[in-house]
Amino acid sequence: MRGAFIVAIVFSSTAVAVGVSQYAFGLFIVPIEETFGWTRTEISASLSFAAVGGLSAPLLGRAMDRFGARPIIVLSLAVFGSSFCLRPLMSELWHWYALSFLQFATFSGMTVLPAGRLVAAWYPHIRGRMTGVAATGNNVGGLVMPLAVAALLAAMPWSEASLAIGLASFAVAGAALVVIREAPPAGDAGRRRPGSTGERKIRVGSALPDQDLRETVRTGTFYAVLAAITLGTFTYSTILPHALVHMVNKGMGNASALSALGTLAAAGVCGKLLFGWMSERFTARRMLISNLVGQAAFTALLGSATHTGLVAIAAPLYGLFMGGFGALYILVVQESFGMRHYGSIMGLMNLGTVVSFGLGPLVAGVSYDVSGGYGAAFLVVGGLFVAGAVSLAFARPRTEGTPTTLRPPS
């Protein structure tokens, strides 16, 4: 039962982080503009601090390997909550930027880092499915948090709404402090492999799970996985933020485009559950290759379709594969490198998001300025997805079913 509560905590933490930072951000633009007189450009520039989350991820990952997931997720939620609780005290633009820096500084510590470690520890035999469940916090946060924030802003000033978000983050942090444990008790036979003696046995597709970390980052597999994840995350920086306006540009009405975006998000939930389950049967590596190819196909269809009916069909199909990517890239890191240095390796993988989040919006902007739409950007990103799949396909095959260990933090 505790394992289910732990997954619920990771789910909630991810929903808050992604839902507030990405999906609900726009709801604060007008109130902030009216209060301080800052321009839209000055306000939106704070999103550039999302790159800080990628830069800090290796430090948080290494700390998680040493101290465990609980202190990292609690600290990350507390920092995130503090950034919102302090916003009512803002008076200068640099305050807004400083608090945005705090907001994104521990982003990975609320999402991918604890999700990967805790789910693998508590559900080693069905970690694909349970990782999919935990990762649906991204999509549910995108559906629920904008509605919740809109309700708050309708009932109170933006400053009080910001404080409420901060307090909600502290509430999740408190629950994490009470509920989270690194692994089931030693006597829990339902979670432990027969014959294990004090160390969790997890079967992963890795021939070199317990290598020294410095040896791991010298392997071709490390860079193949890094390339696949970096190129795959262009889906979050280029496709998703511009999907709605792209569909409107293609001739869909606002209501129809919003409905299509809703089906895209709902399909994303299904994608995480489906691809998480399939990774247990066919390996995460193979499923990530197929996932990137699927994203490429339906991104290209979204970008090139001239009929609104085709766009409406392509949106949920793209969403299915886009959602699956959010679970698979966690699983492929576990499968390729084991759990001993999971935090450090995943932290290094997250450095790739600095590239995707730095270049992705520029690709979209240039596409619109040159062609008057986002179709060209969608086609370019589709090509990047194919390149990521090819990179992963040429990674050195791993021996399936090799046991590795997840040791308690020292």
211 band by pLDDT with thresholds 50, 70 and 90: low
Q: Which of 40, 5, 60 is nearest to 348 (CA)?
A: 60
Q: Is the pLDDT of residue 209 over 80?
A: no
196 band by pLDDT with thresholds 50, 70 and 90: very low
* 364, 301 contact by CB (below 8 A): no
Give the separation between CA 296 and CA 299, rounded to whole angstroms: 5
What does the pLDDT look like over 342-400, one tens digit per residue?
888 998 998 888 888 888 888 888 888 888 888 899 999 999 999 999 999 987 655 44
Beta bridge partners of 402: 204
Predicted local confidence at residue 95, as pLDDT: 95
* 79, 102 contact by CB (below 8 A): yes
Q: Kindly state the DSSP code that residue 315 receives in the 8-state scheme.
A: H
Q: If you classify domain 200-406 with CATH, what class do you get? A: mainly alpha
Q: Is the pLDDT of residue 295 over 90?
A: yes
10 band by pLDDT with thresholds 50, 70 and 90: very high
Fold agreement between 2-179 and 200-406: yes
Predicted local confidence at residue 2, as pLDDT: 86
Assign 3-state DSSP to the chain and report helix, strand, coil percentages, each to 5: 80, 0, 20
Residue 192 in 3-state DSSP?
A: coil
Q: Is the pLDDT of residue 208 over 70?
A: no
Predicted local confidence at residue 404, as pLDDT: 44
What does the pLDDT look like over 305-339, one tens digit per residue?
888 888 889 999 999 999 999 999 999 998 888 88
Q: Which of 72, 165, 85 is nearest to 111 (CA)?
A: 72
Three-state secondary structure readout of 274-308: HHHHHHHHHCHHHHHHHHHHHHHHHHHHHHHCCCH
For the entire predicted model, the pTM comes to 0.80
Predicted local confidence at residue 200, as pLDDT: 41
Q: Which residue has the higher pLDDT, 314 or 185?
A: 314
2-179: CATH homologous superfamily? MFS general substrate transporter like domains (1.20.1250.20)
Q: Is the pLDDT of residue 291 over 90?
A: yes
172 band by pLDDT with thresholds 50, 70 and 90: very high
Predicted local confidence at residue 365, as pLDDT: 84
Which of these ranges, 41-55, 112-126, 295-309, has the smallest mean pLDDT? 41-55
Question: Sign (positive/negative) of CA torsion 355, 356, 361, 365?
Answer: positive
Give the separation between CA 317 and CA 300, rounded to whole angstroms: 12
Tallying the residues shown for the chain, one arrives at: 410
Predicted local confidence at residue 366, as pLDDT: 87
Averaged pLDDT score across all residues of the chain: 85
* 295, 325 contact by CB (below 8 A): yes
Q: Is the pLDDT of residue 201 over 60?
A: no
Annotated domain spans of the chain:
2-179, 200-406
Mean pLDDT of 213-229: 88
409 band by pLDDT with thresholds 50, 70 and 90: low
